[in-house]
Amino acid sequence: MNAGSKADTKRQSKFSSLMADPIAAISFADPHADPYGHMGLVRNPDGSVTRQFEHPKTPVSSYDGSPILLVKDVPINQSKNTGARIFLPKEALESFPGRKLPLLIYFHSGGFVILSVATTGFDDFHRALATEVPFVVVSIEHRLAPEHRLPAAYEDCLEALHWIKNSQDEWLEKYADLSNSFLMGSSSGGNIAYHVGLSASSCVDDLKPLNIKGLILHQAFFGGNKRTESELRALNDTFIPPCVTDVLWELSLPVGADRDHEFSNPVLSIKPGQFDQIKALGWKILMAGYENDALFDRQFEIAKMLEGEGVPVVTNFVEGGYHGIDMFESTKTKVLCEVVKEFIISFVTTA
């Protein structure tokens, strides 16, 4: 068995352990034969999809009695069925009222099409971000494509920022330092953090007292029509090969758009002065990823583009790995948390 096959087997084993047996069997249909079925979807003749199952979710009640964490769900826009899951480290209660924790506004993965803030596979990741950095974490529930194509997710997440700044939620008021806030996303959530960050940079006065200091793009999901070298290397991947990401873009981009659309391939759509406000605000962008990720070349290209535009970028690109490794392997989760922690501390030491 080669290294790639071993990695695929490890990922599938970890993911399958989170699911009931029949669901796991559907989830790992051959992606090359049926990329929709691989994600638990059936494509209908009219272009819509039927969801074969709901990925397992962890109820808030499962955190009852946790010695380190308090968790609750809150609605944001009930007409859109959007909301947030808030993770509050208990150390915030112990340090109150003397010290508040930084606020992390997190956008989950799932290719804009599947998964949610409550997806069981995200439990350890949320817990680690909240307790090991630590942060008050607000993980945003946005609408999914294809029922709600982009820019719906961007709009929902920007709306969430306004909800946070106006929120009278006790946890946010007492324990979160809104003046020390960061946007972070994994995979498609990293794409959201990029686009929502750009939008937020143009309306910072409207968002006060929420003060965003930086963006964290974690294995961010970007695309394009022409295959990159890292995508070509992943053609035979059995977990998330390019044929699967192609389908995710097909389902999430505006109808008729291709993968060179600005939502998926922003490098092709740079406008003069587009990043001037981000630079003026002193924001920094952390980009984290792995070289064996099929999306690596896209992430690297975005980092180089941002650097070329004069945006302060911190890169943490690591050899090996695969897409989603920080969700599946606890040792990697801890390393990522340390990288994020160093990034946050840098704002204090350079202030």
- Is the model more confident about 271 or about 10? 271
Please check whether residue 11 lies inside any domain of the structure: no
Please check whether residue 129 lies inside any domain of the structure: yes
* Phi, psi dihedral angles at 4 (to 5 degrees): -65, -40
Q: Please compute the mean of the pLDDT values over residues 67-75 and round it to a whole number.
A: 97
pLDDT at 180 over 50: yes
What percentage of the chain has pLDDT greater than the value 90?
A: 85
**pLDDT digit string, tens, across residues 90-100:** 999 988 888 89
- Greatest alpha-carbon pair distance for the chain in Å reads 59
CATH number at residue 57: 3.40.50.1820
Q: Please compute the mean of the pLDDT values over residues 268-287 and round it to a whole number.
A: 97
**pLDDT digit string, tens, across residues 89-144:** 999 998 888 889 999 999 999 999 999 999 999 999 999 999 999 999 999 999 99
User: What is the structure's pLDDT at 98?
Assistant: 80
User: What is the structure's pLDDT at 27?
Assistant: 47
Confidence bin at 266 (pLDDT 50/70/90): very high
Catalytic residues: 187, 293, 323
Confidence bin at 22 (pLDDT 50/70/90): very low
Q: Please compute the mean of the pLDDT values over residues 246-253 and round it to a whole number.
A: 98
Please check whether residue 220 lies inside any domain of the structure: yes
Please check whether residue 5 lies inside any domain of the structure: no
Torsion sign across C-alpha atoms 141, 325, 333, 347: negative
Please check whether residue 74 lies inside any domain of the structure: yes
Please check whether residue 27 lies inside any domain of the structure: no
Number of domains in the chain: 1
Q: Please compute the mean of the pLDDT values over residues 76-95 and round it to a whole number.
A: 95
pLDDT at 259 over 60: yes
Q: Please compute the mean of the pLDDT values over residues 264-285 and round it to a whole number.
A: 97
User: What is the structure's pLDDT at 141?
Assistant: 98
Residue 170 half-sphere exposure toward CB, CA atoms < 13 A: 6
Confidence bin at 8 (pLDDT 50/70/90): low
Q: How far apart are CA 3 and CA 40, in angstroms?
A: 26
Q: Please compute the mean of the pLDDT values over residues 225-248 and round it to a whole number.
A: 96
User: What is the structure's pLDDT at 348?
Assistant: 64
Torsion sign across C-alpha atoms 320, 326, 316, 200: positive
pLDDT at 229 over 50: yes
Confidence bin at 1 (pLDDT 50/70/90): very low
Domain that holds residue 324: 52-349
User: What is the structure's pLDDT at 20?
Assistant: 41
- Is the model more confident about 5 or about 203? 203
User: What is the structure's pLDDT at 6?
Assistant: 53
